[in-house]
Amino acid sequence: MKITNIKTTPLLCKFKQDYHWADGVTLCSPVVLIEVETDEGIVGIAESGVGPTIEPMLSVLHDAIPHFIGRSVFDGNRLIWEYFQSGFKARGVGSQYRFFSRTMSGIELALWDAIGKGLNQPVCNILGGAVRDKVGYFGFVQGDTAEELAEHAGQLAKEGYPVLYVKVGRDDRLDVDIVAAVRKVAPNVRLRLDANEAWDTLRAVRMMEKLKAFDIEIMEQPVPGIGGSDALLRLRGVGMPLSADQSVYLPEEVFEMCRSHAVDAIVLGLHETCGALRWRKAAAVAEAANIRINIHGIFETGITTCIANQVGATVPNLDDANQIMWQLLEEDLVESPDLRPVNGFLPVLKKPGYGFELDLDAVGRAAEVYCKQKR
Ligand SMILES: [Mg+2]
């Protein structure tokens, strides 16, 4: 099956409500829809998660796409890294793995969808088979004030989510008020916090000591990721389990993080690793250290939910409360299947490819929002 064209469609998918976190307020998910067209009429679909903005990613994608035309869908592993060599490394920006990975992840992931559809198999089967029947997700608590967040937390707990996840790192007093309010309405859930790199060492120690009173299962990336494992190791004395998110993108970084004994879990998404193959390699590194891996979410749509569901299902050390993001959108791009978790779980998707159908009207509207923003 040969690649005849790769279509890129920039989209802005609006959120239902403002998304409050340590880096401010975010209003939408910007993504690039990737459609790999083939000579057999099969189209592989995925998305690249945007960072920092859509335009430089489109520029790189358009530079890369000619390298793929006329080649087999089974050559993705070779073609992506050939382009990394000639399009990135050779141009003196070889260290920018993170930008490269996010940009090219959509192509890597769309090729798997084309392969799955071509072989009439779900992608998880092609990757060796699922090791579980369902994938777990946390209830992602949304709102601005402690009252709003507590109300949503109560609702998610009633819906049966065993794990809730709350953003902190916004303001010390507000953070404590939020966590106290959430814990009050959801006394029996496993509660996880994410400070998104907001604190220096002293502030992280002070905040974690205060937040310990609320029985926190994991504190995610309290200090800047650039500090690597050393910055996280300094917090070990607090006695609160830690996870690394922004510290780790590459399997090599996962190896170093696991070797350091700085964290108890790794948070990593498929866009960060440039797709499924390297995500599974990173998961295998963590598995060798007996450390679980949690599917990270960036600003994305249900397309990524479907992809991560199948790829995540193939690794034994997958966390039981992964990140899910499509529900933040005013309207998702996926028409089917139903991606609402039941008691915090979705079954592993088993239709050919990633098993989703796009809502083409929703795609059209998100493309229009992007075009309006450009004008
Ligand atoms: Mg995080």
How far is the centre of ligand 1, averaged over its atoms, from the C-alpha of 298 (Å)?
Answer: 9
Mean pLDDT computed over 6-33: 97
Rounded to the nearest angstrom, the gap between the alpha carbon of residue 34 and the centroid of all alpha carbons in its chain is: 17
How far is the centre of ligand 1, averaged over its atoms, from the C-alpha of 119 (Å)?
Answer: 35
Distances (CA, A) of 179 to 67, 196, 238, 312, 325: 50, 16, 18, 29, 21
How far is the centre of ligand 1, averaged over its atoms, from the C-alpha of 347 (Å)?
Answer: 24
Mean pLDDT computed over 135-152: 98
Q: What is the pLDDT of residue 88?
A: 84
Mean pLDDT computed over 111-117: 98
Rounded to the nearest angstrom, the gap between the alpha carbon of residue 235 and the centroid of all alpha carbons in its chain is: 25
Would you say 64 and 108 are in contact if contact means Cβ atoms under 8 Å apart?
no
pTM higher than 0.95, yes or no?
yes
Six-digit token pair at 371?
A: 């075009």
What is the tens place of the pLDDT at every residue in 223-279? Answer: 999 999 999 999 999 999 999 999 999 999 999 999 999 999 999 999 999 999 999
State the amino acid at position 200 in one-letter form. Answer: D
140 in the Ramachandran plot: left (φ > 0), alpha (ψ -120 to 50) or beta?
beta
How far is the centre of ligand 1, averaged over its atoms, from the C-alpha of 193 (Å)?
Answer: 9
How far is the centre of ligand 1, averaged over its atoms, from the C-alpha of 248 (Å)?
Answer: 11
What is the tens place of the pLDDT at every residue in 272-313? Answer: 999 999 999 999 999 999 999 999 999 999 999 999 999 999
Would you say 193 and 166 are in contact if contact means Cβ atoms under 8 Å apart?
yes
Rounded CA-CA distance 346/341 in Å is: 5
| Cis? peptide before 52, omega within 30° of 0 | yes
Helix (H) or strand (E) holding 26: strand 24-38
Other CB atoms within 10 A of residue 194 CB: 23
How far is the centre of ligand 1, averaged over its atoms, from the C-alpha of 197 (Å)?
Answer: 8
Rounded CA-CA distance 306/354 in Å is: 6
Rounded CA-CA distance 4/68 in Å is: 8
How far is the centre of ligand 1, averaged over its atoms, from the C-alpha of 30 (Å)?
Answer: 18
How far is the centre of ligand 1, averaged over its atoms, from the C-alpha of 114 (Å)?
Answer: 30
Q: What is the pLDDT of residue 95?
A: 65
How far is the centre of ligand 1, averaged over its atoms, from the C-alpha of 21 (Å)?
Answer: 10
How far is the centre of ligand 1, averaged over its atoms, from the C-alpha of 39 (Å)?
Answer: 40
Would you say 360 and 336 are in contact if contact means Cβ atoms under 8 Å apart?
no
What is the tens place of the pLDDT at every residue in 88-106? Answer: 888 877 668 889 999 999 9
Beta pairing partners, 34: 8, 46
- Collapsing DSSP to helix, strand or coil, 73 comes out as helix
For strands 3-21 and 24-38, give the pairing: antiparallel
Q: What is the DSSP string of 224-290?
A: -GGGHHHHHHTTGGG---EEESTT--SHHHHHHHHHHT--SEEEE-TTTTTSHHHHHHHHHHHHHTT
How far is the centre of ligand 1, averaged over its atoms, from the C-alpha of 221 (Å)?
Answer: 7
pLDDT band (50, 70, 90) for residue 19: very high
Residue 338 has pLDDT above 80, yes or no: yes
What is the tens place of the pLDDT at every residue in 154-193? Answer: 999 999 999 999 999 999 999 999 999 999 999 999 999 9
Residue 65 has pLDDT above 90, yes or no: yes
The full set of domains in the chain, from first to last, is 3-120+360-374 (3.30.390.10), 126-358 (3.20.20.120)
Residue with tokens 């600003």: 299
How far is the centre of ligand 1, averaged over its atoms, from the C-alpha of 219 (Å)?
Answer: 10
How far is the centre of ligand 1, averaged over its atoms, from the C-alpha of 22 (Å)?
Answer: 10
